[in-house]
Structure 1
């Protein structure tokens, strides 16, 4: 499977034709907000008025991805999101209380469903092809990607648009902070990994990819394989899963030029990666990314965007390097991420 194009809206300058993370943005706080583009280039202003932020971000990223690939009509549209359109959900629930369950305006309810982003993209494109949304918590994007791979292998669709979307609302941020997911005092995102404490920083974003099964020099990278596993028993079990994943693709850890990990600054979360750093990953070049986009259930989509560009551009941005990078132009990249040590994901990419 090949990644033909990708577009990302994140807390960094990643959208459109911009330098590759040469001007990283520093934030001080416990939450990163996406840098939104000028939507009038992608959405009719009259339509945009009725769209929440996540719908506009998803539509813009999808349209830019299709434009970069030179594709007008995708063979399928598949998205992954854990929490869906939170802004519309909160708005609808608030109005239920305020209006005492009477005369409720339907717009917020209609747009609060998780599949709204994929549906809106299809409506704008007049696309009647396969359309699906996966809501699988920490592996929502990975599930969407797996569905796309199966469609391609079965020959049911080609030129498949796959995306991961997530937004952070004030309400959700307060609740998740109380649950201990985020740090309780402000800090620089550039100092995230130097602060050994509980919690991380919140994030959001919308990242889309166009997948096909046609080799081309214009493709960004080859998506060789992907795998998920749930609640491993121990760090040794995680090592076995990674080694088996590589062995299935006739590789060992020595064949990997760069490993992108999901470190997020949380003491408990990063203990898994640090254990691997002292064993399986000890002699490997490593990178991280969550100080740029924040932590959210579909952040793996940002990692895939990063890996695709690293391979295509033949460079590893200094801002993501975790120590010395031995091969400055990686050809084989492994991504390993876990969400709350329950949902574990692996992706293997290679140069075309």
Structure 2
């Protein structure tokens, strides 16, 4: 497998609305700022049938594709830690209310994890490879690894990769009882990027590497692991982005790394950050690094 350079050539994000509460407050919930769905999903009937997470995921994915008219994508990879929670809750409540009889299948069909990737494929008339990863905190990173393999094995030239998670009132309360919000902000978001083997004038960054590991580590052990990783990459002048740098904005959720990924790509393209960036993420004992470089 060749060491093909991988470029990020398009990104799109549905970001948290932090105008009303810009400061980090543990236990508080940030919600996304809803985009104009009419322009991204013109079919009104289709929009009405979509749940909230499907709308925000499909709209963000289509926005990313619209920013990259140069060539069609060869694969669509989506990732989610929680899946379509709203539809799942709706189906389960209907199941209980109707005593497991006379159930409509719509909510169940729309609750499946691959709904967003499938809808993007239908709207963009894409018949290529389509896969969804649901590996909790490693969901986005797993989709990126799949994209890297497709690109380096020359099975694809352009791959759409996205991560989507929503926060519902029920899940918020459950995780609150488990103590997750004692030192965290509850978050959600949708973030997509197009990875390619060819650079374009608008390229954001180069994806240099990914590393995944799990377990319980002290802050000193994480620092040592970061140091060893950068020594292995023979990099000295690197900006390191920790969860405290970005989760105070996007909040805590399984695929928050995708928000950090897109944010770093913007900084690298604009020149605001001129050095390579190592992004570190941790969620419930799962840890990951993503290493990005300027083009």
> Could you tell me which residue of structure 1 aligns to residue 225 of structure 2?
241
> Could you tell me which residue of structure 2 aligns to residue 332 of structure 1?
276
Give the match's secondary structure for 1:151.
helix
> Could you tell me which residue of structure 1 aligns to residue 260 of structure 2?
303
**Does the aligned pair in 1 maintain the 2:28–2:186 contact within 8 Å?**
yes
Q: CA deviation at 1:201?
A: 1.3
> Could you tell me which residue of structure 2 aligns to residue 348 of structure 1?
291
- 1:250-265 equivalent positions in 2, closer than 5 A: 250-252=234-236, 255-256=237-238, 258-263=239-244
**Does the aligned pair in 2 maintain the 1:162–1:209 contact within 8 Å?**
yes
Stretches of 4+ moved more than 3 A in 1?
Answer: 232-237
Q: CA deviation at 1:217?
A: 2.9
**Does the aligned pair in 2 maintain the 1:261–1:335 contact within 8 Å?**
yes
Matched, 1:217 2:174: no
> Could you tell me which residue of structure 1 aligns to residue 142 of structure 2?
143
Q: CA deviation at 1:227?
A: 1.0
Matched, 1:30 2:28: yes
Give the match's secondary structure for 2:225.
helix
**Structure 1: any 5+ residue segments left out of the alignment?**
14-22, 183-197, 264-287, 316-328
Task: Please give the alpha-carbon distance, in whole angstroms, between the structure 2 residues aligned to 1:216 and 1:331.
Answer: 20
> Could you tell me which residue of structure 2 aligns to residue 321 of structure 1?
none
> Could you tell me which residue of structure 2 aligns to residue 42 of structure 1?
40
Q: CA deviation at 1:241?
A: 2.8
Task: Please give the alpha-carbon distance, in whole angstroms, between the structure 1 residues aligned to 2:246 and 2:11.
Answer: 17
**Does the aligned pair in 2 maintain the 1:334–1:349 contact within 8 Å?**
yes
Matched, 1:112 2:96: no
Q: CA deviation at 1:331?
A: 2.6
Give the match's secondary structure for 1:141.
helix
Matched, 1:204 2:188: yes
Give the match's secondary structure for 2:67.
helix
> Could you tell me which residue of structure 1 aligns to residue 213 of structure 2?
229
**Does the aligned pair in 2 maintain the 1:61–1:207 contact within 8 Å?**
yes
Task: Please give the alpha-carbon distance, in whole angstroms, between the structure 2 residues aligned to 1:299 and 1:71.
Answer: 28
Larger RCO (CA within 8 A; separation ≥ 6): 2
Give the match's secondary structure for 2:49.
coil
> Could you tell me which residue of structure 1 aligns to residue 90 of structure 2?
91
**Does the aligned pair in 1 maintain the 2:9–2:199 contact within 8 Å?**
no
Q: What's the RMSD between the two structures over aligned residues?
A: 1.8
* CA deviations over 1:260-282 (Å, ceiling 9, x no partner): 1112xxxxxxxxxxxxxxxxxxx
Q: CA deviation at 1:336?
A: 0.9
> Could you tell me which residue of structure 2 aligns to residue 10 of structure 1?
15
**Does the aligned pair in 2 maintain the 1:73–1:125 contact within 8 Å?**
no
Q: TM-score, normalised by structure 1?
A: 0.78
Which deviates more, 170-179 or 68-77? 68-77
* CA deviations over 1:127-151 (Å, ceiling 9, x no partner): 1111111111111111111110111
Task: Please give the alpha-carbon distance, in whole angstroms, between the structure 2 residues aligned to 1:337 and 1:204.
Answer: 15
What is the number of residues matched between the two proteins? 287
Give the match's secondary structure for 1:49.
helix
**Does the aligned pair in 1 maintain the 2:133–2:143 contact within 8 Å?**
yes
Query: 1:77/1:3 Cα in 2 relative to 1: closer, same or farther (>3 Å)?
Result: same
* CA deviations over 1:217-246 (Å, ceiling 9, x no partner): 320111111111111555454344323322
> Could you tell me which residue of structure 1 aligns to residue 156 of structure 2?
157
**Structure 2: any 5+ residue segments left out of the alignment?**
1-5
